[in-house]
Chains A and B, each alone.
Chain A
Amino acid sequence: MTSVLTRRTFLKGVAATAGAVMLGGCNPSPPAPIGRLRVEEWTALGFPSPFTYTAGPGYWRMSLLFDTLTWPDSTGRQLPWLASSYKQSEDGLVYTVDLRDVSWDDGAPLTARDVVFTHRYYTTQTFTPLLIGVPREDVEVVPTGERSVEFRLPRPDATFLQQTLGTMPIVPEHVWSKISDPMSVTDPKLLVSTGAYTLTSRDEAQGHELYEAKDRYFLGSPFVKRIEMLPAEDTLAALRIGELDAASSEAQGARNELLTPFRENPAYGMISREAGFAFPLFFNMSRGGALADLRFRRACLHAIDRGDIVERLLTGNGQLGSQGWLPPSHPYYDGGVRAYPFDRAEAERLLDETGYRRRSGSGSRTNPDGSPLRYTLFIPDLVPIALAELVVASLGAVGLDIDLQRIDLVRVFGAKLSANYDLLITSYPGPSGIGPSGDPDILRGVYHSRPPNPLHKATGYANPEVDRLLDAQLSTTDVDERKRMIGQVQRIVADDLPAAMLYYTTFFHAYRKSVFDQWYYTPGGFGPGIPDVFNKHPYITGRKEGLR
């Protein structure tokens, strides 16, 4: 229902989060600096202060104004950004950061005190969790000099570098220490920062914003001088008719017809990334009955011709889901997970064998006790209605009656939280942030019996072995060991099948080469793991790797 209730741009904003695989060609030398870059707007995601933005693109806009200690480039490596250098101790418990000689907009110098203040400020505000990655309250931040600071961790944390140093925007103590309620700040004058751009115009009603480069940025004058964010109902169409200079495909994926104009015209470049978005089908196991029956769930997945769905909806621009959640392109993907090829006969056999027999005549199946077997499938709006129809048709073909109900995203998540649904197709990343290609810790969100956020949990699923492995992988610093544990989790959950990963879509990003052509997808995402193509690194530096 909400495809209409929510603005498309907002839904798409929600779509952007996770890690990455870089494709696309590389350009030997950057062209001459250019002035203006026009991209899609995200004004509805809140004022771009570090305390009021929402969702991935909201973080991105804020990142144009505020800097973090480290920041990734196209290799996914965290470059020292506000930091002049950083290092991790042998035991992984201490991160030492030296700061560059940088000034705030108002001339005051950036010091270790600002870093200490920022960390404390975030962890003492009620709303921190919405604003940056996991706030580590148990981390001690100690100034060790005018421009050096130490982060002391109680135990090793594989995600600390990216989630804190590479995510937390440093704010000036002399401005924010006077503000007790940062969420109420919407005055551009208070956006005193070290960042590369200034917000010079914002119209929330019409949806446009203008960011202009600061010539005296500490990494040199930014390559792109002026970023115009403009409203567009259909961004690829807007690029085609010249209203934008770059546009990404929607969360739902893109068919070839939409991409052909850019493939055929040499004035455009295009990059793509596999598994940009995932569409899992959740079975509410806590409902008991067939939903808690492994053979029933397996039969459902066998009954769905996922290859056909990807062909129909995306002309093949997608990949079949791996039941270990992580896509084959993910560095932690385990190739040994159980596969569930489309096999209607196998589905029928499993159902017959388990006692879900077809009622004579109607062909619909019933429970073993003869009661009707009928479930409702919820879909929010990010999920194409055509996908839901195809799934319902597939299940119908093996005698399973499914009612379709389209409800708005907030209700879907309400239903998820309260375990008040039968079947649910939703889309990741996006509302959740646990995309198929971010840090593998995302598996904890889905398969752990007590996940950090119940919103994404495979409802009713609890496997002590999975819990143990997921807890252990978090505090291991040995990458191979972590890989082994994550792989084992994938194999177990693929066997247990509490949720069926239907398919992943491919993201596309097309752009006008003459304006800017250094686009890339950041492996692992930028900031807290935002998979979008809008990493600020290339348009500040004009290159894909390293600093000038």
Chain B
Amino acid sequence: MKRFVEALRQSRMLLAGVVLVSAFTVIGALAPWVAPYSPSAISGDTFERPSRAHLLGTNDAGADIFSRLVWGTRTTLVVAVCATALILAVGMALGLTAGLRGGLADTVVMRIADVFLALPVIPLLIFIAALAGPSLTLSILMIGLFTWPQTARIVRSQTLSLRQRGFVDIARGLGGGPLYVMRRHLIPALGPVIGANLVFVAGVAVTTEAAMSFLGLGDPSAVSWGAELNRALQNDQITLGSLWLWWMVPFGLALTVAILGFTLIGVALEPRFNPRWSRAQT
């Protein structure tokens, strides 16, 4: 934590990223108070132009676009948090197993990770979403399915290097059980690396959710930036006048800025906590 605060002071990039992500978090958390209307409320006529009552006008049903933008933040954050937690759990479990047990377990886990990294994401997403019917839970699961290998590989390689440095064996030799070793030595040592990786993963999760919704594979009842962007693009009215300026652009911008926020934090944190660099510096 101390290192983080210190890093925050040093890096403008990190600061910018943290500010952006926090801003979205606050907006998402306070959505009911920030948004003038419920996102599904039919609060005006259809296709109203921006006005005081509707900052970004209304959509094809007559819902307030600004409110949908604000509530969409929540969906984005929920996906980011849940998918990241899922990836963390799966990636840690498999990565640690592979790294600690070695041998056959290692080969199997890493081979599966290879296959997942090589699979074409979108065709499979389409298949599976059609199979299961789109929902937010499914989106999160799918994102987890395709992103865990990266985390697992990082965890594994870190575990291996810690093992090589003898931490684990010594602790074991002193009578520590595997869980004890994990808790006392591995997790603290892995923490920063995983932390930096997870910010990246959160960014990837947000991007993937948006892409899925954009392709119509998302939850229709969740208000999502990607889905709203697609809805606007599919609407015949979008080619008329400047409707796209307040119906498409805000959602595109929100996505861009949110993803930017996660990326900036990831970019700024990674070299700091990447063992490659800390080793090099010492």
Which residues of A are interface residues toward B (Cβ below 8 A)? 1-5, 234, 236-237, 250, 254-255, 257-258, 312-313, 381, 384-386, 388-390, 392-393, 403-408, 411
Query: Would you call B129 and A1 a contact (CB within 8 A)?
Result: yes
Q: Which of A1, A250, A385 contacts B236 (CB 8 A)?
A: A250
- Kindly report which residue of chain A lies nearest to residue B38, judged by CB atoms: A393
Known pairs A4-B215, A4-B217, A5-B216; list 19 more (Cβ under 8 Å): A1-B217, A2-B216, A4-B216, A5-B130, A234-B236, A234-B239, A254-B236, A257-B47, A257-B241, A258-B237, A258-B240, A313-B60, A393-B41, A404-B220, A405-B133, A405-B134, A406-B220, A408-B130, A411-B130
Q: Cβ of B61 < 8 Å from any Cβ of A?
A: yes
Q: Which of B42, B46, B130, B220 contacts A385 (CB 8 A)?
A: B220
Contacts of B42 in A (CB 8 A): 389-390, 393
Q: Cβ of B281 < 8 Å from any Cβ of A?
A: no
- Kindly report which residue of chain A lies nearest to residue B237, judged by CB atoms: A257
Q: Give chain B interface residues in 210-246, CB to chain A under 8 Å.
A: 215-217, 220-221, 230-231, 234, 236-237, 239-241
Tell me how far the C-beta of B245 lies from the nearest C-beta in chain A, rounded to whole angstroms: 16
Q: Within the assembled complex, what's the spacing in Å between the Cα atoms of A237 and B236?
A: 8
Tell me how far the C-beta of B224 lies from the nearest C-beta in chain A, rounded to whole angstroms: 12
Tell me how far the C-beta of A62 lies from the nearest C-beta in chain B, rounded to whole angstroms: 29
Task: List 9 A–B pairs whose Cβ atoms lie within 8 Å, in order of A's numbering.
Answer: A1-B133, A4-B230, A236-B236, A257-B240, A312-B46, A312-B61, A386-B59, A393-B40, A406-B220
Q: Within the assembled complex, what's the spacing in Å between the Cα atoms of A357 and B161?
A: 64
> What 1/0 flags go to B33-70 for Cβ under 8 Å of A?
00000001110011100000000000111110000000
Count the B residues whose beta carbon is within 8 Å of the partner chain — how many? 29
> What 1/0 flags go to B14-38 for Cβ under 8 Å of A?
0000000000000000000000000
- Kindly report which residue of chain A lies nearest to residue B239, judged by CB atoms: A237
- Kindly report which residue of chain A lies nearest to residue B131, judged by CB atoms: A411
Q: Within the assembled complex, what's the spacing in Å between the Cα atoms of A466 and B217?
A: 41
- Kindly report which residue of chain A lies nearest to residue B62, judged by CB atoms: A312
Query: Would you call B40 and A389 a contact (CB within 8 A)?
Result: yes
- Kindly report which residue of chain A lies nearest to residue B227, judged by CB atoms: A385
Contacts of B237 in A (CB 8 A): 255, 257-258
Q: Give chain B interface residues in 116-163, CB to chain A under 8 Å.
A: 126, 129-130, 133-134
Tell me how far the C-beta of A234 lies from the nearest C-beta in chain B, rounded to whole angstroms: 6
- Kindly report which residue of chain B lies nearest to residue A381, judged by CB atoms: B216
Query: Would you call B134 and A386 a contact (CB within 8 A)?
Result: no
Report if A312-B45 is in contact (Cβ < 8 Å); known contacts: A1-B216, A257-B237, A258-B236.
yes
- Kindly report which residue of chain B lies nearest to residue A5, judged by CB atoms: B216
Query: Would you call A385 and B231 a contact (CB within 8 A)?
Result: yes
Query: Would you call A5 and B126 a contact (CB within 8 A)?
Result: yes
Q: Which of B46, B129, B134, B220 contacts A313 (CB 8 A)?
A: B46
Query: Would you call B133 and A407 a contact (CB within 8 A)?
Result: yes
Q: Which of A3, A237, A258, A393 contacts B216 (CB 8 A)?
A: A3
Query: Would you call B220 and A386 a contact (CB within 8 A)?
Result: no
Contacts of A385 in B (CB 8 A): 61, 220, 231
Q: Within the assembled complex, what's the spacing in Å between the Cα atoms of A212 and B64?
A: 50
Q: Within the assembled complex, what's the spacing in Å between the Cα atoms of A2 and B63?
A: 23
Q: Within the assembled complex, what's the spacing in Å between the Cα atoms of A258 and B60?
A: 14
- Kindly report which residue of chain A lies nearest to residue B220, judged by CB atoms: A406
Question: What 7 A-B pairs come out closest when comparing CB atoms?
Answer: A4-B216, A386-B61, A406-B220, A386-B60, A404-B221, A312-B46, A389-B61
